[in-house]
Structure 1
Amino acid sequence: MLIWAALALAVGVPVALAATSEQLAWRGPIYILAGFAGIIALALVLVQPLLIGGFLPGLSAYRNRRAHHWIGGGLALAIVIHVAGLWFTSPPDMIDALTFASPTPFSPFGVIAMWAIFAVALLAALRRPLGLRLRTWRLVHVPLAIVIVACSVVHCQLIEGTMETISKAALCVLVVVASAKAMVDLWRKRVLRGESIARQ
């Protein structure tokens, strides 16, 4: 229960503090929706390694994988809402961002993270039709996951928006730590499995 409570706090506190931001008074509803979709997307980036690493108690390995799959789809949807909302409120700014012509330093990191998320979602949907083996899937998915985590965190940290500074930084640190831990654990399992097969 402590782990679930900690996850709820890690996600809930930044969202709650963002909801009390004074900047919301100067924003329209679509812009606010787009902004909170981005915050939710970052929270889902935290949940993904917790699931695939088996860090959330009470869930079987099968349920972890299924939840990881569906939350990945939810992450892609959150990004679509985030980008679509920003496009609706300011098309020229979004065109500059998507073409890497924006003067804002956070834009290119967000765009790179977006395309990496869409690439993972597309490959996940086409994995069975394409007949991708697990080893091939991991060789593609892990580098893209690293890009998603790194660019998402940098994108978030560079934005001076509705998110409160300390809670935002804490959430970003948790995303990096959880992702690194999950990847190291998976690498160790593969190494140990390879050594066991070699001994046999």
Structure 2
Amino acid sequence: MVLIWASLAITISVPIAAAVASPLLAWRDPIYIVAGFAGIVAMTLMLVQPLLAAGYLPGLSRPRGRRIHLWIGGILVLAVVLHVAGLWITSPPDVIDALLFASPTPFSAWGVIAMWAVFVAAFIAMMRNRLNLQPRTWRRVHTTLTSIVIAGTITHAMLIEGTMETVSKSALCLLVVVAAVKALSDLKVWKLWRSP
């Protein structure tokens, strides 16, 4: 139990620590640095989310893990908002170009796609009862949106040459994919797309 939690803590801490040690931070404004780290934190939370949803973390029952999954989802949305807001403060034209898919940097479009998918997933989660979504429909929608978030975020991160160190960033991206695929497989999510 302790080993699993320690491994998760190390997996989350290493990319953050590597980014803290980046020499590129010396030329960045404090707001830009906070925005960048909000993005890194959001990515580490994406590793935790499938582990919680599938009940992989010891000491947490699946129902309790899913409740925490909901709260972590809210923190993830706040991290994304902080990431984008910080970039907006430091360079509004770049953010406008990104939002309009007019940016010359390919990573911007992937980040925007992931951002909107996060926002829609959060909105549907908050409105799930009011929308009267059946569990099967909810899981289809949520799985589709989170898959878009993962693909968009990983592409976004891998295309950026910034404060995240390449090896730890690549390892984190790989672990996010492995955790998501494993959770989707164990939860038998593929059955959702079969005929009702």
TM-score range, shorter chain: over 0.9
* Alignment check: 8 A CA contact 2:108 2:156 kept: yes
Instruction: Compare 81-90 and 53-62 and name the one that shifted more.
Output: 53-62
Q: Which structure has the greater CA radius of gyration?
A: 1
Point out where structure 2 has 5 or more consecutive residues left out of the alignment.
none
For 1:39-78, list aligned pairs within 5 A: 39-78=40-79
4+ long deviations beyond 4 Å: 188-191
* Alignment check: 8 A CA contact 2:184 2:190 kept: no
Deviations 1:167-199, CA, capped at 9 Å, x for gaps:
0100000000000000111117969xxxxxxxx
Alpha-carbon offset, residue 6 of structure 1: 1.1
Show the counterpart of 2:31. Answer: 30
Show the counterpart of 1:8. Answer: 9
The yes-or-no answer on 1:146 pairing with 2:147 is yes
Tell me the distance in 1 between the aligned counterparts of 2:120 and 2:31: 26
The total of aligned residue pairs comes to 192
Find the residue that maps to 2:105 and give its secondary structure: coil
Letter of the structure 1 residue corresponding to residue 100 of structure 2: T
Alpha carbon RMSD of aligned pairs, Å? 1.5
Letter of the structure 2 residue corresponding to residue 19 of structure 1: V
Alpha-carbon offset, residue 162 of structure 1: 0.4
Alpha-carbon offset, residue 54 of structure 1: 1.1
- Quick one: structure 1 residues 2 and 136, their matched pair in 2 at CA, closer, same or farther if it must change by over 3 Å? same
Find the residue that maps to 2:187 and give its secondary structure: helix
- Quick one: structure 1 residues 131 and 104, their matched pair in 2 at CA, closer, same or farther if it must change by over 3 Å? same
Tell me the distance in 2 between the aligned counterparts of 1:107 and 1:94: 9
Find the residue that maps to 2:68 and give its secondary structure: helix
**Identity of aligned pairs, percent?**
62
Tell me the distance in 1 between the aligned counterparts of 2:116 and 2:25: 28
